[in-house]
Amino acid sequence: AFEAVLRLDARSIDAHAGLAKALCWQGRPHDAAEVYAQGAAASGDAGLALSGALLLPVLPESRADLDAWRARSMSRLAALEGIAGRVRDPLREVD
């Protein structure tokens, strides 16, 4: 359903967030990260960008995998410093 919405409106923040959450829960964190990145680029939404930066897999493959995801998060968070967007309602806008 989220993909159908995105075909109609590629800037839909809710559809990007919903699809990314679903992919993450399906054990597809790399796909979820791509959806968050595409959504943030298409909509300019800071909540999607922050959610993508904070993304960690539900079940990491190994300790090394978890360490790699944490390093990715730190790098992405650093890249978000100074962005123009604003998160108005973090409980709703950020996963």
Distance CA 51, CA 16 (A): 11
Interval 38-94: pLDDT, tens: 999 999 999 999 999 999 998 899 999 999 999 999 999 999 887 777 888 888 888
Name 20's Cβ contacts closer than 8 Å, sequence gap at least 6: 32, 33, 35, 36, 39, 48, 51, 52, 55, 95
pLDDT at 92: 86
* pTM listed for this prediction: 0.87
What are the structure tokens assigned to 94, written together? 């950020």
pLDDT tens sequence across 6-44: 999 999 999 999 999 999 999 999 999 999 999 999 999
Per the CB < 8 A criterion, the answer to whether 34 and 57 are in contact is: no
